[in-house]
Chains A and B, each alone.
Chain A
Amino acid sequence: MKTPIQFHLNGEAVATFVESGANLLDTLRETVGDLSVKGGCWQGTCGTCTVLIDGVPRLSCVTLAEACAGKSVETTAGLRRGADLHPLQQAFMDRFAAQCGYCTPGMLMAAKALLDRNPNPTRAEVIDALCGNICRCTGYEPIIQAVMDVAGSDNRRRA
């Protein structure tokens, strides 16, 4: 039994059919084709699959696709504007804030959600916002520094 749903993905309208019970992670990757979202545990514990739903970070592996009907979904694929990187992406590059890169899309989305609601977070607030995202290469410090760099910069662009 497939259900039609519509939502916005990175500002673009998407219409698709989903199996009853399908999660947003599989729907984005397998049906819509947005491969910037990665699956890590498929049980809502590692944060790798973090996306923004109406601006709030959510674990797409434990979010029902049908529950996203009519909502706005943001992923790492939508961060870039043409050739320009989002300031967070640039800061992650400058700070060497990715090793294997697998947790990076989830980290970026969790960080974006924080900066969108709080442009000048403290270090403690950054750590709190990222604490649901596991980096097994254990490169947390450069990630925190990258987010702090963007938090402190004047030219930060709000997508």
Chain B
Amino acid sequence: MLEFRKDIFADERDDSLVEIGQPTARQDILGHVTGTSPYYDDHRFANLLHLKILRSPHAHARIRSIDDSVAARAPGVKRIIRAADVPVNLNTLLSLIQFGKDDEPSLASDVVRYKGEPILGIVATSERAALEALALVRVSYDQLPAVLDVEEAIKAGAPSVNATYPKNTFEYYGKYDHQKLRFGDVEAGFRQADIVIEDRYQMSPIEHAPTETNGSITVPDTNGRYIVYTSTQALFFSLDTAAKINAVQSNQLHFIGGTVGGGFGGKVDTLTEPLCILAARLTGAPVRYRLSRHEEMQFGSPRGAERIYVKDGLAKDGRIVARSVRAYFDSGAYTRLSSYAVVKCVAHIPGPYTIPNVHADVYCVFTNRTPATAMRGFGVTALDFALECQMDKGAVAVGMDPLEFRMLNMYRDGDMKAHRREAKNCALIECAQVAAEKANWPLRDEFRRMSSRQGGSHERAGVADRSRTPQLASAAKPAPSTPPSPVPQRVAYERPTPAAPTRTAPPSPPPRSAPPSPAASPAGSTHGAPRFSSVFGTRRR
């Protein structure tokens, strides 16, 4: 049941919510419950042809020769589509917003770089005829060494996956092989820390597995244009991508979609439309290109796997004084959207906590795996998993309640974030308080009274605030200085015993012992660089 806590921040909000809190019917639900919603495959055309794709059985191989002469004579085959037929056979999705270099062919011509990479298409009168003809194509390969691990891929001498990025790392702004975040002095922070916790987190690729697989139908229109019915979750993005690959003006394509049988990020890659349109152009007939369930699961791009190393330095009173993150995003063989995932990841470090010393290096790495793509918070979700595991371990290490440990470190209004933007309109402490109340999770008094609006300051993040008087100075006496241990104590994470851990005396809300002021803006900072407001656009801040 929804409950609105209008008492929180009542003075910050015009309390005239009309729609929020009221049930509203989805505009498409009548179609859904009557089975009449028009998914792309619910359009019928006479003499529909079917496109099926020959895919690489190897993770990395040179194509020596392709013999499709027998397949071309197979029953029902109308047309074979080869790499040479693709007008612009190199693309990267985010080239539409001038981000990254074209690195991915629609059909591989010389080298295949992941198992499942498209090589050749057959258009036939039925899916079955196309599949049977595919079985008659003979491809001769020279297998090449494959690299399947992100850290192996960036070692000297590793096989080069993608000719566009020979060092196996995406290139940011034409020169950087990773994204950095630098705030404060993380080494000094670790020296100052009483406890250091370090761990490694490894994610798996996750397939979106929408119940409707990726697909599209292209129909020649009566005016020389092409109508494309598609499952895409990004209609104009797919339209522009398909137009680029087909070397046609985008006004030659009429995309019809918006009814998507589950996307979750797995339908932004424009997997089927470019070749489906090409097949219709080459045959003059309506063509459907629909992924089978096997293709969807095996070759449809998944959420990428990330490997994340996190090192936290903690003061005994529960403050996080330093956090260092090193992460590798497995982009697979081509870029697609992983370059952007890394940008999102770095923007999310160090999580919603005020930490005076933060250091991050995050790499977008190419391997001979299925190219990865968007999926529900990609770039952020995995990082949050790693960071919140660290928070649980940190709470145990300092002997605090895990929620109170988090609350002590959460952003408050006026804090300086590691990205040098001031925290505003914070409400996480209040959310934690309500969550604790709902879950009957006991919080000590000072945490029940804690507020996002009090105690925040640039100083909390070790940054001098030249613009105003810190609120905090008068609010609390300086914290008892905790003498830094000469040698930081490393702790192994252990699950808390059933008995409640002994709690240390409640820490006074910071001022923090002033860590070194942040280093001057490091060379290579991304001043003036485009920041993404979404996959589809940029803004400058």
Contact = CB atoms under 8 A, between A and B. Distances in A.
Interface of A: 33, 35-43, 46, 48, 75-77, 79-80, 85, 89-90, 92-93, 96, 98, 100-105, 108, 134-137
A59 to B, nearest CB: 13
A28 to B, nearest CB: 11
Nearest to A98: B32
A137 B212 CA distance: 12
24 contacts: A35-B44, A36-B34, A36-B35, A36-B36, A38-B261, A41-B293, A42-B293, A48-B211, A75-B35, A76-B34, A80-B34, A89-B34, A93-B33, A98-B26, A98-B29, A100-B210, A101-B28, A101-B37, A101-B259, A102-B261, A103-B211, A104-B33, A104-B35, A105-B35
Nearest to B24: A96
Categorize the interface residue count of chain B.
Answer: 20 to 34
B286 to A, nearest CB: 14
Contact of B211 (A76, A80, A90, A134): A134
Nearest to B296: A41
B363 to A, nearest CB: 31
Contacts, number: 90
A78 to B, nearest CB: 10
Contacts of A135: 211
A102 B34 contact: no
B292 to A, nearest CB: 7
Nearest to B264: A136
> When A and B form their complex, which 10 residue pairs have the shortest distance between CB atoms, in order from nearest?
A36-B35, A101-B32, A102-B261, A76-B35, A98-B32, A41-B293, A89-B33, A40-B211, A105-B35, A102-B211
Given A36-B36, A42-B293, A93 B30 contact: yes
Nearest to A136: B262
Nearest to B30: A93
A90 B212 CA distance: 24
B260 interface: yes
B505 interface: no
B209 A136 contact: yes
- Looking at B28, B41, B212, the one whose CB has the most chain A CB atoms below 10 A away is B212
Interface in B240-284: 259-264
B341 to A, nearest CB: 21
Given A98-B29, A102-B211, A37 B35 contact: yes
